[in-house]
Amino acid sequence: MTEKLAAWEKLSRNDKLLINMLHLIQEEQGYISRNRLAELAEKAEVPVSQLQGLVSFFNSFRTYPAGKHRISVCYGTACYAKGAPLINDRLVDELKLKDNIDTSSDGLVTLEHVYCVGACSRAPLIVVDGEISGKIKSHQVPLILESLRRKE
């Protein structure tokens, strides 16, 4: 049992929100494993199926591990109109991603989409490990990936 799960009991009645707990678990592990979900279900006295339903409902919860670095391409209207699909296609090409697989085979990068990070003036945007960079051109993608590889 982790510390964060143990905190559940200390919460006041008004603060016992399952979704906040799921965020804590995801923060800790990078994804939400079945074991953790079962532990939370036991603590909160709800069926695992209900939690599973909550997890699968949201885009941001992962049920399997992610790569070392995470790149999100903003797919909001402004970014889309200004060329987000071109950046996405280039990333897919460079990372050699296949359908329904979002992590490169070397486990370096996970590619995700986000619908608007709210900095539309810098469109198109990508978020690399939480750092937002704006006005990206598709030919900059190899450079971005190279800098991530060099960090290793």
Partner 1 sequence: MISRSELKGPSVHKYQVCKSGLESKKNPIGLATYKVPDFPVNVSLESLIAEGKITLCSNQSRINVGVATCGRAAGAMDIYNNLEKRDWCGAVRVFKVGCIGACYAEPLVHIRTPEGKHYFYGNVDMSIFWHIIKTAEEKPGTKTLPFLWAITQESKTGILRGIQDMELIKVQNSGFRDFFQPQVRRISGRCGLIDPENIAEFAAMGGFGALEKALFRLKRKQIIDIIRTSGLRGRGGAGFPTGDKMNIAYENADLVRYVIANADEGDPGAYMDRVLLESDPFSVLEGMMITALAIGASQGYIYVRHEYPMAVHALKKAINCAHKVGFLGNNVLGSSFSFDITLVESGGAFICGEETAMLQIMGGKRGEPQLRPPYPVRQGFQNHPTVINNIETLANIPWIILNGAEAYRELGTPKSPGTKIFCLAGDIKRMGFIEVPLGTSTKVLIEKIGAGDKESIKALQIGGPSGGIVPYKDFSLDYETVESAGAIIGSGGLVTLNKKRCMVDIARHMVNFMASESCGKCSICRGGLLELEARLLTLTSGKGYPSILTEIEALSKAISSISLCGFGKTAATPVTTTLTYFRDEYEAHVNGKCPAVFCKPLINFEIVLPCRECHACHSVCPSGAVKRRTDKNERLVVDSKLCIKCWACYEACPFDRIRIVSEELHGKDDRNHS
Q: Using the rule CB under 8 A, which residue among 43, 61, 108, 148 binds partner 1?
A: 61
Question: Which of 113, 122, 141 minimizes the C-alpha distance to 79?
Answer: 122
Q: What's phi and psi for 132, nearest 5 deg?
A: -90, 130
Specify the stretch interacting with partner 1 by CB under 8 A; choose among 2-10, 63-71, 101-109, 124-132. Answer: 124-132
x/- mask, partner 1, residues 13-52, rule CB under 8 A, reads: -xx-xxxx-xx--------------------x-x---x--
**Is the Cβ–Cβ distance between 104 and 95 less than 8 Å?**
yes
CA 25 to chain centre: 13
If one counts every other C-beta atom within 10 angstroms of the C-beta of residue 33, the result is: 15
CA 89 to chain centre: 19
Does 8 engage in binding with partner 1 (CB under 8 A)? no
If one counts every other C-beta atom within 10 angstroms of the C-beta of residue 58, the result is: 12
Radius of gyration of the chain from its Cα atoms, rounded to whole angstroms:
18
DSSP symbol at 139: G
Number of H helices and E strands in the chain, helices first, is 7, 4
Does 131 engage in binding with partner 1 (CB under 8 A)? yes
* CB 33, min distance to partner 1, A: 17
* CB 127, min distance to partner 1, A: 9
Specify the stretch interacting with partner 1 by CB under 8 A; choose among 2-10, 74-82, 99-107, 144-152. Answer: 74-82
Q: Interface residues for partner 1 in 87-106 (CB under 8 A)?
A: 89-90, 93
Beta carbon nearer to partner 1, 101 or 107:
101
In the complex, which residues of this chain contact partner 1 (CB under 8 A)? 14-15, 17-20, 22-23, 44, 46, 50, 53-54, 57-61, 75-83, 86, 89-90, 93, 114-123, 125, 130-134, 137-139, 142
